[in-house]
Amino acid sequence: MNTDKWEQIKGRIEDDFEVEERGERHDDEMGGVDINFIVFKSPLGRVKLEFILKPVILDRKTNYSNRIGSGTKVEYVYSDTEKSERMVAYKWDEVRDGWVEMDAKAFE
């Protein structure tokens, strides 16, 4: 999934379905994650698509001590230039009253 493909999908959804909500979020955790989302009514019910853009992990540093009871701390080093992109689909579950991630294998 790339940004151009996401824009195409989003455009088709806006043309073919009733869009309830759209927007963007930025989370400073994990090196800075940008999430672009759209919520719409489909034949399956309410569906939410998220396009997630986050920095690639370059290195993982583990800090630990041999003392009893001490914990382990993991630090990640994120890229400033390289980003990973993915799309996640959710379906609204009336029973749970929340979003449930859809299995990607169902679309194969």
Signed CA dihedral, 35, 88, 92, 41: sign only: positive
Count Cβ atoms below 10 Å from residue 52 Cβ, excluding itself: 18
51 within some domain = yes
74 within some domain = no
Give the largest CA-CA distance in the chain: 61
17 within some domain = yes
Q: Which of 73, 86, 94, 103 is nearest to 1 (CA)?
A: 86
Looking at the structure of the chain, the number of domains it has is 1
Domain hosting 43: range is: 3-55+82-107
DSSP E strand stretches across the chain: 18-27, 33-42, 45-63, 73-93, 98-101
Residue 106: predicted pLDDT: 65
72 within some domain = no
- Cβ-based burial of 34 (10 A; exposed 0-12, middle 13-18, buried ≥19): middle
Residue 107: predicted pLDDT: 61
69 within some domain = no
Which tens digit of pLDDT belongs to each residue from 45-96?
Answer: 899 999 999 998 889 888 877 777 777 888 888 888 898 999 999 999 988 8
88 within some domain = yes
For the whole model, what pTM was predicted? 0.77
